[in-house]
Amino acid sequence: MFFEEAVSSGPQFFNLVPWIVFFPVIGLLFNIFFGGRILERSRAGEKIVGGVASLAAGLSFLVSVLLAISLNGHPEGMVVPLADWINIGELNIRWAFQVDTLSVTMMLVVSGVGTLIHIYAIGYMHEDVRHNGDPGRFRRFFVFMNLFIAAMMILVSGDNYMMLFVGWEGVGLCSYLLIGFWYEKGKDGIGNALAAKKAMVTNRIGDFGFLLAAFTIFWTFGTFKFHAIFEKAPEVAVANPGALLFITICLLIGVTGKSAQLPLYVWLPDAMAGPTPVSALIHAATMVTAGVYLVARSAEIYVLVPTAQFWVTLVGSVTALFAATIAVGQFDIKKVLAYSTISQLGFMVAAVGMGAFVAGMFHLVTHAFFKALLFLSSGSVIQGLERGHHHVEHDPKLKKQLKGHAHDFDPQDMRNMGGLRERMKITYWVYLIGAIALAGIPPLAGFWSKDEILADASKEFSWAYTLLTLAAIFTAFYMTRQILMVFFGKARTPAAEHAEESPLVVTAPLMILAVLSFFGGLINLPFDGFHQFAHWLEHTLGEYAHPGEFILVVALLSTGLALVSLALGWWLYNPRRYEEFWAIPAARRPDDPLRSYIGPIYEALKNKYWVDELYWAVFLNPYIDLSRFLADVIDWRFWHDWFHDRVIMGGYNLLTRLLAIRIDLGGIDAAANGLAVLTQRVAERLRQVQTGYVRNYALSIFVGVVIILGYLLLR
Amino acid sequence: MVPIQYYTALSAILFTIGALGVLTRRNAIIVFMSVELMLNSANLVFVAFARSFQSINGQVFVFFVMAVAAAEVAVGLALIVAIFRSKHNINIDQINNLRG
């Protein structure tokens, strides 16, 4: 329908598509049933368990590649039905897989990046489960990871909104399970569990929006199938524009939850409580981009509702700037990346909001590469530090230097790092590549995708362009700050001094991702003849997949500003200056050089604009007070104490007392007893008659006979 | 021929004597004798009417009554002997074991 030349040739593997879900499911079942025994019995158990999980993800990737190859020959794609699911009256929903260029793009990203992260996790979790003291949880981790891949594949491959929703909830569940993976750890022993709960609850708010949208879709269109809905959408836009507006806005609420946009982004920074591969896979590369995918998938509805497009763009671009500024004030290496992720998701959401679907998806792909890379490298840094810390703790000579700080050592605090460039060379280089890609310096992947978004924004949405450009400036700044604090200068703690590089199983995926982050931009260079990605998506998105333009001014401006902000970062955090800053006695030293220049603003950034506190004050505390009121006054005092105890129990008591005393004792028992007493009294009298003297009896017989005879004679 | 009324009157007198004897006397033997008197007063009426009406039925009834009376006396005397053995007395005022 959308493609110009219908080239229907080449191999065709569309029917393999269910296997993208089946392989991870097989992998997780294998690990559930055999993983525990393998871990116990075999010394290479972790490699087998992790290997099976990685293989499952890898086979999923292989199928995705075959699908991509098939799409080359048959760009129209195919819907592969698998089974009927719900068949009630007009409602019939089936498990059917939509194979088109958009879904296959997502499949490739999810399974490709996912496989690399699985491999990385074999090495990472090997140490993580030991640091946290429960090696048995190794298997559980990979079961959850495979479950996530399966759920994410359902999300991206469904041919209807309900199947998408199943995946949507499935990934939410995996996110919850993996954030709370070390559920007994964290602040006060419940920190991680609280973070998981926060993610769950926040996402439920978004899912509520999604559900409302889904119901309205069914009400309006009578179906959940993408194709049928998109065909009817233009008619509905004329006949019932309100319904479409409601659907798109409610979907936007779903997007803000899942893709961590304002105002529901607050769960993502806390989600960093999960192991680092989880942060990379779920909370950076794949799950959080589901919202972007959702808007891109619903492109044909969104383009009909300019108001909704405006709101999506607004939410995305404001989030991009908002989160980027917060990232500047963070000290936790993963928190910086988390806010960066929110900011980058803002870029994507803004892009798909303004109709630049190709640019949004392009950024989604490149971001998956470089942000997964950054997260995984930060994991490598953290474990390098942990190794250093371990080394120091077990060396009596070095332990003296710790001065009793051994237990509250935070391997994620960038202030505890420094100088890792020398000790972790591979990690340093890949981190640098990821950071430059993220900062948007050409010719790395991030530049091309971000620039395409900016170019699209500059044409129609100047306000969004301004916001996003500002966000890009902050991006370059906080990445410079992070790189300088982590890798440059002198080691600031003994742990950093003795940090060790990670093993190959960890660094190999990093290197692959680094290559992808470097060259990822090649899939869609903004020059004529290079728009492969745009042409690829054209088969699905049709006319809405306009290839990005290269606007020299925009590119130069954004690159120039990124370089300026990089230089500013260098000026503030360069090793010499930072060491001088660090040499100030701790009592007089502010926590960051930036505080000397923008004190109060910095305080706001460091405290994330007090948004969490605001939510606590505005929503959570009133909510808790309300639930306490409901529990204490309504439920306990009114319902339990008064209604149950007084009304029901009291009434029942009264009734039983009435029945027992008045009816039973007073009526039934009294009747029986009365009869007995009566009998006794009568007998009391009558026994007097029985004298035992024959004479009396004879007399009574005689009298009786006389009376009877008298009666007979006289009647 | 003696009119029937005389027989009847004699019988009634005998029956009354017998009944009063049963009710007033204390000696068990005399009570028995009074009972016999009552039975025989009845017999007297039976035979008187049998003769008056030229019917054999009354005379037959008398034989039955005599048989029953004989049996009754046999049982009664046995009882009196038994009572005497245990109480050494046949005063019926002292025999009130069945008092309620």
Give the contacts of B29 (CB within 8 A, at least 6 positions apart).
B80, B90
Contact (CB<8Å) A702/B98 = no
A174, A148 Cβ separation under 8 angstroms: yes
Show residues of chain A in contact with B98, CB under 8 Å: 690, 692
Q: Please write down the HEC assignment for all residues of A180-230.
A: CCCCCCCHHHCHHHHHHHHHHHHHHHHHHHHHHHHHHHHHHHCCCEHHHHH
The whole-number pLDDT of residue A402 equals: 60
Contact (CB<8Å) A690/B99 = yes
The whole-number pLDDT of residue A407 equals: 59
A99, A27 Cβ separation under 8 angstroms: no
Provide the whole-model pTM. 0.78
A152, A535 Cβ separation under 8 angstroms: no
The whole-number pLDDT of residue A1 equals: 36
Place of tokens 């991509």: A68
Measuring CA to CA, how many Å separate A56 from each of A142, A372, A452, A713, B24?
11, 19, 35, 121, 124
CB proximity A584 to B under 8 Å? no
Nearest CB to B98; choose among A692, A698, A702:
A692
The whole-number pLDDT of residue A8 equals: 55
Show residues of chain B in contact with A702, CB under 8 Å: 19, 23
Contact (CB<8Å) A692/B95 = yes
Residue B52 C-alpha, separation from nearest chain A C-alpha, in angstroms: 22
Tokens standing for residue A292: 């972007």
A156, A110 Cβ separation under 8 angstroms: yes
Residue B100 C-alpha, separation from nearest chain A C-alpha, in angstroms: 5
Question: A470, A155, A510, A543: which is closest to A322 by C-alpha?
Answer: A470
How far is Cα A98 from Cα A291, in angstroms, rounded to an integer?
A: 18
Show residues of chain B in contact with A692, CB under 8 Å: 95-100
Q: Mutate which of B22, B35, B37 to disrupt the A interface (most A C-beta within 10 Å)?
A: B22
Q: Please write down the HEC assignment for all residues of A327-365.
A: HHCCCEHHHHHHHHHHHHHHHHHHHHHCCCHHHHHHHHH
The whole-number pLDDT of residue A491 equals: 85
Show residues of chain A in contact with B92, CB under 8 Å: 693-695
The domain defined by B4-94 folds into Helix Hairpins (1.10.287)
* Chain B residues within 8 angstroms (CB to CB) of chain A: 19, 22-24, 31, 92-93, 95-100
Question: What residue ranges do the domains of chain B occupy?
Answer: 4-94
> Residue A379 half-sphere exposure, CB side, CA atoms within 13 Å?
32
Show residues of chain B in contact with A689, CB under 8 Å: 100
The whole-number pLDDT of residue A400 equals: 67
- Give φ, ψ of A545 to 5 degrees: -95, 65
Low-confidence ranges of chain A (pLDDT < 50): 1-7
> Residue A625 half-sphere exposure, CB side, CA atoms within 13 Å?
6
**Residue A413, class by beta-carbon neighbours within 10 Å (0-12 exposed, 13-18 middle, 19+ buried)?**
middle
ipTM of the complex: 0.83
Contact (CB<8Å) B99/A691 = yes
The whole-number pLDDT of residue A3 equals: 40
Residue B93 C-alpha, separation from nearest chain A C-alpha, in angstroms: 6
Low-confidence ranges of chain B (pLDDT < 70): none
The whole-number pLDDT of residue A2 equals: 40
CA A192 to mean position of chain CA atoms: 14
Q: Please write down the HEC assignment for all residues of A558-625.
A: HHHHHHHHHHHHHHHHCHHHHHHHHHCCCCCCCCCCCHHHHHHHHHHHHCHHHHHHHHHHHHHHHHHH
How is residue B94 annotated by DSSP? G
Nearest CB to B97; choose among A688, A692, A698:
A692
The whole-number pLDDT of residue A401 equals: 62
Q: Mutate which of A685, A694, A700, A701 to disrupt the B interface (most B C-beta within 10 Å)?
A: A694
Residues 652-711 of A with CB under 8 A from B: 686-695, 698-699, 702
Residue B25 C-alpha, separation from nearest chain A C-alpha, in angstroms: 9
**Residue B74, class by beta-carbon neighbours within 10 Å (0-12 exposed, 13-18 middle, 19+ buried)?**
exposed
C-alpha R_g of chain B? 17
Question: A18, A53, A23, A59: which is closest to A38 by C-alpha?
Answer: A53
How far is Cα A545 from Cα A355, in angstroms, rounded to an integer?
A: 9
Q: What is the pLDDT of residues A363-421, one digit of tens each?
A: 999 999 999 999 999 999 999 988 888 888 887 777 666 655 555 778 888 888 888 88
How far is Cα A642 from Cα A619, in angstroms, rounded to an integer?
A: 30
A21, A150 Cβ separation under 8 angstroms: yes
How far is Cα A508 from Cα A380, in angstroms, rounded to an integer?
A: 11
Residue A694 C-alpha, separation from nearest chain B C-alpha, in angstroms: 7
Q: Mutate which of A680, A695, A713 to disrupt the B interface (most B C-beta within 10 Å)?
A: A695
The whole-number pLDDT of residue A500 equals: 87
B46, B14 Cβ separation under 8 angstroms: no
Show residues of chain B in contact with A706, CB under 8 Å: none
Show residues of chain B in contact with A699, CB under 8 Å: 23
